């Protein structure tokens, strides 16, 4: 993965997830070390609100769509709520308004767990809201001589639907014969007269 090829192979994806697993392990260790100092009602609320706003509405819409595209609003909600930037701002606002506390550790715990344990990163408008292997990506892996990842969350790969409205390809309209440029020398001379 680089600037010219912004996709990951299964191996680089595993390495990317491993980095978040380290963050998950650190946040888990800190939660355990300060378990007696955590206010659990705010901790549970902070942990759950990310998915209540950012994931569950989109997951419901995807399942109810019957294969039709769902609103991009669900993608934006997911990406905003699962952003380290957003949750850092929430933690900063919490510290300013309420004060710093160990319950805030559930924010990185949630995000690092999503990425490290489950492999859930930001959602692209070009893909279904839920994970479905894409034939184009599988062709790239074939071109690179790499094995395909296993299907995720499905008994088999369903048709990748529910994300992009397919528009028909533009139809080329042939030019009328009289408007075509003359091709032979005598025809060009006749057209110039």
Would you say residue 14 lies in a domain? yes
> Is residue 71 a part of any domain in this protein?
yes
What is the pLDDT, as a whole number, of residue 135? 81
The domain containing residue 45 runs over which residues? 10-144
What percentage of the chain carries pLDDT values higher than 70?
A: 78
Residues in CB range of 115: below 8 A, 6 or more apart: 16, 17, 20, 121
Per-residue confidence band for 176, with pLDDT thresholds at 50, 70 and 90: low
Average predicted confidence (pLDDT) for the chain: 85
Per-residue pLDDT at 83: 98
Question: What are the angstrom distances between the C-alpha of 57 and each of 54, 62, 67, 73, 76?
Answer: 7, 9, 16, 10, 11
More confident residue, 181 or 123: 123
Distance between CA atoms of 126 and 13, rounded to whole angstroms?
Answer: 19
When pLDDT is averaged across residues 111-126 and rounded to a whole number, the result is 94
In a domain, 67, yes or no: yes
- Is residue 88 a part of any domain in this protein? yes
128 is a domain residue: yes
Q: Is residue 149 part of a domain?
A: no
pLDDT at 90 over 60: yes
Which range is most confident: 2-16, 62-76, 105-119, 179-193?
105-119
Nearest to 104 by CA among 86, 85, 88: 88
Q: Is residue 123 a part of any domain in this protein?
A: yes
Question: Is residue 79 included in any domain, yes or no?
Answer: yes
Nearest to 58 by CA among 115, 137, 124, 113: 124
153 or 19, which is more confident? 19
Cβ atoms 103, 38 nearer than 8 A: yes
How many structural domains does the chain have?
1
Inform me whether the pLDDT recorded for 37 exceeds 70: yes
pLDDT at 106 over 90: yes
Q: Is the pLDDT of residue 165 over 50?
A: no
Average pLDDT score over residue span 76-93: 98
């Amino acid at each position: 993965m680089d600037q010219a090829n912004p996709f990951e192979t299964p191996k680089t994806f595993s390495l990317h997830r491993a980095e978040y697993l380290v963050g998950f392990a650190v946040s888990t260790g800190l939660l355990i070390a300060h378990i007696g100092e955590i206010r659990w009602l705010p901790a549970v609320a902070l942990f759950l609100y990310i998915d209540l706003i950012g994931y569950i509405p989109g997951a419901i819409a995807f399942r109810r769509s019957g294969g039709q595209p769902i609103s991009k609003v669900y993608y934006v909600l997911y990406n905003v709520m699962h952003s380290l930037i957003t949750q850092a701002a929430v933690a900063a606002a919490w510290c300013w308004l309420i004060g710093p506390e160990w319950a805030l550790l559930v924010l990185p715990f949630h995000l690092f767990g999503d990425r490290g344990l489950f492999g859930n990163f930001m959602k692209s408008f070009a893909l279904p809201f839920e994970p479905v292997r894409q034939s184009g990506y599988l062709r790239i892996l074939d071109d690179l001589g790499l094995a395909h990842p296993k299907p995720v969350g499905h008994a088999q790969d369903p048709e990748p639907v529910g994300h992009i409205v397919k528009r028909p390809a533009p139809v080329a309209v042939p030019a009328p014969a009289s408007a075509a440029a003359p091709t032979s020398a005598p025809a060009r001379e006749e057209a110039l007269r």
